Amino acid sequence: MVQVKSEWTFWTVWCIQLREKDFEKVKRRPAVRVERNRRWGQGKMKTKDKSRKWMWMFLAALVSLQMYFVWELLAVFALFALGFAAVASVVGSLYMLHRFWALTVDRLADSQHPIMVATRQGIYTIEDAARRPFRRPGSAAAR
For 56-74, the pLDDT digits (tens) are: 888 888 888 888 888 899 9
C-beta atoms surrounding 111 within 10 Å: 13
pLDDT at 75: 93
Once rounded to an integer, what is the mean pLDDT over residues 4-24?
Answer: 62
Once rounded to an integer, what is the mean pLDDT over residues 123-141?
Answer: 81
Full-model pTM: 0.41
Once rounded to an integer, what is the mean pLDDT over residues 71-83?
Answer: 94
pLDDT at 32: 54
pLDDT averaged over every residue in the chain:
78
